Amino acid sequence: MTNEKITLESYREIAPKGTVDFIYKLAENLKKKSILHVNSTRSGGGVAEMLHRLMPLFNELEIRARWEVLKGTPLFYKTTKSFHNSLQGAAENITQDMYKEYKLLNEQNAREISLESDVAIIHDPQPAAFIDYKPKTSRWLWRCHIDISSPQRRVWQFLRDFVSRYDGAIFSLPSFAQKLPIPQFLMYPSIDPLSDKNKDLTSDQVNKVLAKYDIPSDRPMILQVSRFDKFKDPVGVIEAYKLVKKYNDCCLVLAGGGATDDPEGIEVLNTIKELASKDKDIFILDLPPDANIEINALQRAATVVLQKSTKEGFGLTVAEAMWKGKPVIGGAVGGITVQIIYGETGFTVNSIEGCAYRIRYLLNNPELSSAMGEKAKDYTRRNFLITRHLSDYLALMATLIEA
Ligand code: UDP
């Protein structure tokens, strides 16, 4: 392993030709400008994952980039998780006290955090009410990372009052766009090919991780990496695996962890532990937030990667696996549908039976499976790398500052 510093130049040979020069060009007029990102957790989940990687690159381009994290209370996180669930369509009971806590915590945090910046990106519902405290000259965008295609009306109406006052909103898919009086932008998330999560590993490193968790390396491995969240459908994954297991010898790894802003994870984890308790070929790994090499190794060791979500804003885990040359089977929802090209880079599925059928299809056709994996890697290179994401942000900054 090297400790070589990662700079924009490090991506020149990895990203599509011309990308790095394009970024330098875009950043020329943004030097000394500032960008502030605000979200609600520094670890766990895709938003934190991306911000960790993007911040140094903004700074390298001499853009003054800052990342602030809202601090909540248990009631606040319970509330925002309920917001999250109901924006993704689930029925939730959100009381007046919860709405009150949401507003109060937004006010307290907005007063404590310095909000001065040329441009601010406020991520997801948790800090959306910061807009009440926006400095006059700053330009603010609300960045929504979740699948908001069919939200519960009441919560969306509550949030919409805040969102409508931003200078614009960014969604991960066109189908997430809302009726809003402000400009709306489309931006796909991204993965960093040079992070510990995605960089190349030796087979020795991969094997060490398998040995650490006693995962057999002599038979196919089916993997899903996800926070333990019901929308990721870990129960459906276990059921699909059980159907496959009747015909194909294989093991299943469900690797996940919690996020500090997600209080529901433990319940989901207990449910799946119970479901898996009688099968020694199911490995449930509750990983710490910094288990990047472990996740990288598992994705490389897997034969088939699943992301069987029933709702998904984007699903970075799909791009991560595709980058490692794996065909992915994913729920036909949200951002998964723009990453998986059906029959080319993997399969989208709508049921447990469909998922099991496609797992068996890939296990039984290893050559076709690896050809799909190659295509998946190429598609990820062209569409979902951090360099593309950075250039999207720079282009938006330029537009907002000039406007
Ligand atoms: N992840 C992780 N540890 C875990 C579970 C997930 O590091 O135990 C990472 C995963 O590799 C991915 C991100 O967290 O980079 C999850 O992003 P995604 O968009 O797939 O889902 P989200 O959690 O944001 O809904």
Mean pLDDT for 129-156 is 96
Question: What confidence tens digit (pLDDT) does each residue in 7-18 have?
Answer: 999 999 999 999
What's residue 1's pLDDT?
42
Residues 19 and 137 in one domain: yes
Nearest-CA residue for atom 10 of ligand 1: 317
Question: What confidence tens digit (pLDDT) does each residue in 323-346 have?
Answer: 999 999 999 999 999 999 999 999
**CA-CA distance, 375 to 385, in Å (whole number)?**
15
Indicate the pLDDT class of residue 3, thresholds 50, 70 and 90: low
The answer to the question of residue 197 being in a domain is no
Indicate the pLDDT class of residue 403, thresholds 50, 70 and 90: low
The answer to the question of residue 1 being in a domain is no
The answer to the question of residue 196 being in a domain is no
Indicate the pLDDT class of residue 2, thresholds 50, 70 and 90: very low
Taken in order 59, 173, 223, 232, is the CA torsion positive or negative? positive
The answer to the question of residue 83 being in a domain is yes
Residues 179 and 70 in one domain: yes
The answer to the question of residue 283 being in a domain is yes
Question: What confidence tens digit (pLDDT) does each residue in 159-171 have?
Answer: 999 999 999 999 9
Mean pLDDT for 88-96 is 93
Q: What is the largest CA-CA distance in the chain?
A: 64
> Are the C-beta atoms of 139 and 401 separated by less than 8 Å?
yes
Residues 281 and 161 in one domain: no
Mean pLDDT for 375-382 is 98
Residues 390 and 368 in one domain: no
Residues 28 and 170 in one domain: yes
Q: Which residues line ligand 1 (CB under 6 A)?
A: 45-46, 49, 197, 225-227, 255-257, 287, 295, 314-317, 320
Return the CATH number at 260. Answer: 3.40.50.2000
Number of domains in the chain: 2
Residues 158 and 208 in one domain: no
3-state secondary structure of 285: strand
Ligand 1 center to residue 137 CA distance, Å? Answer: 35
Question: What confidence tens digit (pLDDT) does each residue in 169-225 have?
Answer: 999 999 999 999 999 999 999 999 999 999 999 999 999 999 999 999 999 999 999
Question: CA-CA distances (angstroms) from residue 245 to 197, 216, 357, 403?
Answer: 29, 15, 11, 58
The answer to the question of residue 142 being in a domain is yes
Query: Which comes out higher in pLDDT, residue 214 or 260?
Result: 214
What's residue 289's pLDDT?
86
Show the tokens assigned to 119: 């441009």
Ligand 1 atom nearest 286 alpha carbon: 8
Residues 129 and 207 in one domain: no
Residues 271 and 179 in one domain: no
Q: Is the pLDDT of residue 276 over 80?
A: yes
Ligand 1 atom nearest 145 alpha carbon: 24
Mean per-residue pLDDT of the chain:
95
Question: What confidence tens digit (pLDDT) does each residue in 282-338 have?
Answer: 999 999 989 999 999 999 999 999 999 999 989 999 999 999 999 999 999 999 999
Residues 218 and 341 in one domain: yes
Nearest-CA residue for atom 4 of ligand 1: 256
**CA-CA distance, 267 to 229, in Å (whole number)?**
9
Indicate the pLDDT class of residue 44, thresholds 50, 70 and 90: confident
Residues 221 and 127 in one domain: no
Q: What order of strands is seen across the sheet that includes strand 119-123?
A: 64-69, 34-39, 119-123, 139-143, 168-171, 184-186
* Cα dihedral 112, 114, 115, 119 in deg (nearest 10): -150
The answer to the question of residue 195 being in a domain is no
What's residue 378's pLDDT?
98
Query: The whole model's pTM is what?
Result: 0.93
Ligand 1 atom nearest 232 alpha carbon: 25
Q: Is the pLDDT of residue 261 over 90?
A: no
Residues 164 and 85 in one domain: yes
Show the tokens assigned to 275: 């479901």
3-state secondary structure of 383: helix
Residues 368 and 251 in one domain: yes
Mutation to probe ligand 1, out of 227, 261, 310 (largest number of atoms < 8 A from CB): 227
Structural domain for 115, as ranges: 8-190+385-402
The answer to the question of residue 15 being in a domain is yes
